[in-house]
Structures are given as C-alpha cells and as structure tokens.
Amino acid sequence: MLRKNIILAFRLILKNRNVSIINIIGLSFSLACALFILLWVRHEMSYDRFHPDYRNVCRVEEDQYYSNPEAYHVNVTPNPSGPVWMDEIPEIIDQCRVAWAGGILLTNGDIKFFENDVVSVDSSYFNMFGFKLLEGSPESVLNEPNSIVISEEIAKKYFGDERAAGKTLKVDNDKLFTVTGVMENPPKNTVLPANILLSWDYHKGKQRYSDSWGNNSIFTYVRLFPGSADSVVNRKLTEVTDLHKENNTIDYMVDPIHRIHLHSYFGFGKSPGAIVYVYIFCAVALFVLIIACINFMNMSTANSSLRAKEIGLRKVSGASRKLLMSQYISESVLMAFISIILAFLLVIVLLNPFNDLAGKDIALKTLFSPGYLLGILVVGVFTGIISGLYPAFYLSSFNPARAIKENSDSRKGSGLLRKGLVVFQFSLSILLISGSIVIARQLTYMRNADLGFNKYHLVNIPLKGGLGQYYPSLKTEFMKDPRIEYISASIQEPYNIGSNSSSIHWPGKDEEMEVLVSFSGVDFDFCSTMGINLLDGRDFSEEYQADVLNDTLANFLINKTLADIINKDEIIGMDMTFSGLHGTVVGVMDDFHFKPLKDEVEPLAVVPLPPEYFSTMVVRLKTEDLSPALKDMEAKWNSMVSQFPFEYSFVDEEIDNMYHAEERMAKLIGLFSIVAVVIACMGLFALASFTATRRTREIGIRKTFGASDRTIVKLMIFDFMKLVAISILIGLPAVWLLSVRWLSDFSYRISLKPDIFIIAAVLTILVSGLTILYHAIRYSRLNPVIALRYE
C-alpha cells in the first residue's frame, strides 16, 4: 500500500508541475532556513557539553547587596575561596581557579607577540575540564611554578613544526617558562577559550593578587558529587564564607558550566541572558516553515477542482476516507522529502558563507552527524504532515456524487479558510519585517549613540608585559609630533571598565548607604584625551603635585552619577576615601559610557596612578589621515622599545566590536525575513493565478457590460489587498508588544516610532500588490468572447 501511494504521489506531482514546483521551491528555501537555524541553535546549546561529567561542573557566583533594592550579580570570587570550599564542603569533589592574565608578551628569539587568551589556573584544570592534551600529562603539566601549556595554534606560531614540549618561552621579557604541555585548540563552543595556561603561581606573584575574602577577581569552578542539591551547596558556600569573612553579606550559588553561555548575567536585575536569541531564532524558523506550509495548504485546497472527479470516482469505487487521507498525506510528505533533500544540498553549498555571517566555525562533518540527520528527518516529517493534514481532511470529505457531477467542490468554507491562511501568513511576514527593522535600528543606535566621549581619531596601544615603565618616555617622544593632540593611559581600556568597589566614604555620608562605584587608574590629561566634558573642576595635570599617587594619597575625578549620589552643593575640594586611597575631588566629569550601552552608566571614580600600573595607552590624533602618524609612532617605538611589538587598534572599531552578537542577529533575521516574504509572495502569486483562472467567466461578463481593464485590475487587486490590510492590523500590535519586551533588556534603547510600522506596512503592500498585479493585468486584457467561452 505504501509503495502504491508513493508511486501515485509521484504521478500527481508530475501531473501538476506548476503547483508542485512552487510548493517544492517554497518548502526547500524555508527548510534550508530552518536547517541553518537548527545548526545555529545546536551550536549555541552545545557550549561546554564536551567536558566529562559536565552536569556536575559548576561556576561559583555571587549576589551582592547594596542600597539598590536588587541584588548585584557577579561571576567572580575571592582568590583563596576554592581550596577552602573544597576542604570544608563534602559535596565538592574538586575545584579549579581561573584568573585571566589580561594579556602577556610571549617571546621565542625574534618571534614576539602580545597574547590575550591567557589564564592562570590550578593544576586540576585538565582533570576538571575536557580539553585534550597532545603533549604532556594532565596530572603534572601545571604542577611547577614556571610551567606553561599552549595550544596547537600557539605552538605552531612560536615553534613551527618542531615539538614544543620541553622548550622555553619568555613571558613579559622577564622569566623563562617551560612548555610542559600542548593541547588541542579550544573549540569555539566554550566559555574558557584560553590558548595559553600558566600555573597558579604566576597569578600569585602579581602585584594585584590578594588573599582577602573581600576581593573578588577570579573565577572558581567546582565539581560536585552526582545528585548533590544545588540549594544545599549554595547554603554551605555562604556559611563557609561567613567563617572566613567578617560581616559577610554576600550569597553564593553554583551555576552548571553548560548553562553559563546562554543564561549567565551580570549586574543589577536578573537578565535572561543569550537564551533570548535562541528563542528568537527558533520562532523565526517556525514562522518561515509555517509560511511555506500555508502555501502548500492554500494551493492544495485551491486546486481541489482539478481533483474533484478523481476523488469522487475513487470513493464510488470503494476507497475509504482513511485511505484517501493517507494518500494525500503521503503526497505532502513525499514533497517535503524532495524539498528537504534540496534544502540539505543548499545548506552544504552555503555553509561557509553562513559561518562567516553567523560568526561560527561549524564543520561540514557536523551536517552528517546522527543528531543533525535525525533533526532533518524530524523537520521533514513534521513539515510534510502539517502541510498535508488539512488538505487531506478537506479533499477526502468531498461528496462523491456532487464531485463527479460538478467536477468541483461547491462549499464556501474552503475559500474562507484560504483567506484566513493568507492573513496569517502575511501577519507573520509583517512580524519578521518589522522585527528586523527594530533590531537594525537598535544596533545603529548603539553604534552611533553619543557615548559622552569622542571615540574617533582615538588610538588604543596596549602596554602589556611590563611596558608601562616605558610609558613616560614614549609619551614624551610621541608628543613631539604636531599631529598628536593628547596622550593618556589607563589600567583598563577606558571604554570597558569592569572594576568596582563599595568602599567609598565622604563627609556626611549615611553609614547605612552602600554604593557600588566603578573605578580605574589613569594618567594626566585623561579627560582631554578621551574628549570627556568636565562639568566642574579640572582634569588631572602634571602641574599639580597632589595629582600624583603618594602612598595612599591621591586626588579623584568622579562622574555626574556619583556626584548626584553625593548630593552636595560644593563637591570640588571635598575630601573622599575610596578603596584605601585618600584625597580630594578635583573634577566632576559628565557621564560617559565606560561599558556597553546595554548597561546603565554607573557611579565612577578615577585616580592618577604611576606608569607601571598602566595596561593601555590612548592617543588622540588631530589629523584625518591617521596612517602617516601611526607609521612615525611605530618608527619611534622600534627605536626605543624594540623588544616589544608595536600593536594598536582604533577605539571606534573596538566599540563597534562590542555589538557583534546583535549585528549578526540583525543580519540573520533580516536574511530569513526576506526569504519568508519571498516564499509568501510565491504562494500569493500562485493563488492569484488560480483565483483569476476561476474568475475568467466573471471577468468576461463584466467586460461585456462595459467594465474597463483598469476596473478589472482594481477589482482583483482590491480582493487581495483586503487580506493584506487585515494582516497588517493583526501583525503590527504583535510586533509592538514583542519589540517592547526585547528592548527592555537595553538600558539605552530606541523609541518605537510610527515610521517603523509604516515602513513595514508599505513594504508589505507594495510587494504583495506587485505580486498580484501581473495576473490582474493579464486577465483584464482577455477578449470577453474567449472569456465567456471558458469552461
């Protein structure tokens, strides 16, 4: 029976070529979109699931409490906490601390580069995580103080094809480290993408290291006994901390490592995390598939008159309704499988462009993995059944006597249903078009927003590997160039400050008030270099001796947000203590965005620090043509500090890079939206052709009674435009609600102006109108005599 159904289905597909081609093309493109999204979602969901026992490997996180009613969530912990928690909490089998080094200079002879993906870790790293060693033993590679483990990529970079294990590398032009292991390049689907691992002793030897339980600066991962209750572990983490930290007010909790990528959040308020993008793309895939399925349903039911006699004769011959339904579902499933084979070929051909667009490195072999092939099978069967279910019910219900006599089905319900499906289809299209516009505008807003400083003509030069000590002489030499306007430096990139503390006091401060304040150390001329407006007071300057850090004495610059919290008439000259430093507030800066625009501007205080603390130099150039000035800077650099490579980046480009995730999402959704609209219009084109054919006699009668070609065109277009108008009325409110929900995750966002919805509506009307126009003009020009003889 199945073989017979398949053969009959093939014959019917070949018989109705035009309808079949439209359905197969529409399904192929929609299924290709769904398969690409399935790849993307599968990759997003795969993060850190390659670790052994990954469900029991967790990161320890904190909820800190300040005057703000919401908890401030952070993902870092104190340096000594990991081993103490493992010793005192029986549910913890193992622990590993991870401290990002912030970049080092790595040298092998004449080969030298600044490296960023560098961490200091405990020796348990390879026992906790599933990164594979190609050279070295997991139990011993990180035991010695001066041991270093590098990835294949780094080994190739510094040693070529030679065996790396046993060789040495110089770190920060200071100490020689022995390569004790080489690991596989870490995959992209991990929250620990380090290419270079140093022993924990390297971190302990840094000046910033602290054994205080009040200093949160590293990540701590723990492995729990299977079956351990997170709530119990969370309570014990907090209780143990209470024993080691006086007046502890922080709550601790564990988060499984495989959830971190999609569910991690930071700061005030519990953000849903990147999982929102997974939900959005799953919805887009579903919408595109539904639009294609509606095309299939519409064409199948609209084409019922061509099959009415067949259905009637088969029923008279004894075919049951169940048999007919199985036949029609077989047809739709067969068509879906033809489409999914074409879609799979499209995915193979377009995989590399998709990887470039999505920022992924999905290998071709992934397409042939059992899990993905099973996903393709499920999508194909689901699409085939959904597409064919209603047509099967509808066609198999024909009255055999009437179907044979009239060669058609006379019920009116099918036309109403087709109209309803067209409305639903274009409502989804409007949702996708409008959503794409909202996302694109929010992205444009973030990239072009006033950040409170001038990001253009600003160059960032890293000062890693002990370069900070040479900063004063470099600054002096660079400033001789008239094309350079200002130079300053900072312990962090000024547009990405991540350090904060609540240890701030000023005269008259309410002792019950807990204020979390971000901070950074900077050089003289910080505001002038960054282009930050000073609301009151002055910038740091060499002319003032007190601006230079002296033991624990230093002056402060604060931003407007902190000034508003202090709420004093005279802030300039006010005494202030912050993070163990005592001094005077000498200036109030206008608020500037020192974090991505997703976050609100937080209170900020900056202090002048000695050169050896600086990790980045910022140079403001006067000229539009930056290349000659940069080349001269490089020449001076090489003559003064040739042992360090000259590297730089443009601040405006660095800031743009912060929004790569949103940019990729906008491009992908825009592309899938175009595909969805094209598929919807293909269905509308075919349906308009079929409707026009069935109204040929009506057109002939109208023309006989004097109707002009223009009147006929208007009549046909108006019938479909009513449906599109209803789609707009349904789709736009849904877009508004979803857009408001998505934008609520951004502290700084666009307002939903009417033009967004007007553009979406006009685009939909134009595209659908042009789609129908061809058939309207074609049938309006029919000779009324020929039209009346039709049928």
Is the predicted pLDDT of residue 13 greater than 70, yes or no?
no
Tens-place pLDDT, residues 464-490: 888 889 999 999 999 999 999 999 999
Q: Where does the pLDDT of residue 409 fall: very low under 50, low under 70, confident under 90, or very high at 90 and above?
A: very low
What is the separation, in whole angstroms, between the first and last Cα of the chain? 36
Instruction: Report, in angstroms and rounded to the nearest whole number, the Rg of the chain calculated over CA atoms.
Output: 34
Question: Torsion over CA of 722, 728, 730 and 733, rounded to 10 degrees?
Answer: -160
> Which segment of 58-62, 295-299, 367-371, 672-676 scores lowest on mean pLDDT?
295-299
Q: Report the percent of the chain where pLDDT is more than 90.
A: 38
Say how far apart CA 76 and CA 388 lie, in whole Å.
53
Tens-place pLDDT, residues 513-547: 888 899 999 999 999 999 999 999 999 988 888 88
Distances from the Cα of 193 to the Cαs of 46, 187, 196, 334, in angstroms? 14, 7, 9, 44
388: left (phi over 0), alpha (psi -120 to 50) or beta: alpha
pLDDT of residue 410: 47
Under 8 Å between Cβ of 433 and 666: no
Handedness of CA 741, 746, 752, 757 (dihedral sign): negative
- Locus of tokens 């999508």: 379
More confident residue, 689 or 101: 101
What are the φ and ψ backbone dihedral angles of 508, each rounded to 5 degrees? Answer: 90, 0
Q: To the nearest whole number, what is the mean pLDDT of the chain?
A: 84
Question: Two tokens at 743?
Answer: 């934008």
β-partners of residue 658 are none
The amino acid present at 499, given as its one-letter code, is S
Tens-place pLDDT, residues 103-156: 888 999 889 888 989 999 999 999 999 999 999 999 899 999 899 999 999 999
More confident residue, 303 or 503: 503
Q: Where does the pLDDT of residue 711 fall: very low under 50, low under 70, confident under 90, or very high at 90 and above?
A: confident
Say how far apart CA 466 and CA 117 lie, in whole Å.
17
Q: In the chain, what are the domain boundaries?
A: 55-275, 466-643
Say how far apart CA 153 and CA 572 lie, in whole Å.
52
Say how far apart CA 740 and CA 556 lie, in whole Å.
39
Is the predicted pLDDT of residue 180 greater than 50, yes or no?
yes
Is the predicted pLDDT of residue 9 greater than 70, yes or no?
no
Question: Two tokens at 617?
Answer: 């130099």
50-77 average pLDDT score: 90
Tens-place pLDDT, residues 250-304: 999 999 999 999 998 888 777 777 888 888 888 888 888 888 777 777 766 655 5
Is the predicted pLDDT of residue 787 greater than 60, yes or no?
no
pLDDT of residue 577: 92
Cβ atoms within 10 Å of 677's Cβ, excluding its own: 22
pLDDT of residue 755: 87
Cβ-based neighbours of 504, under 8 Å, separated by 6 or more: 515, 517, 576, 577, 578, 579, 605
What are the φ and ψ backbone dihedral angles of 182, each rounded to 5 degrees? Answer: -125, 125
CA 287 from chain center: how many Å?
20
Is the predicted pLDDT of residue 399 greater than 70, yes or no?
no
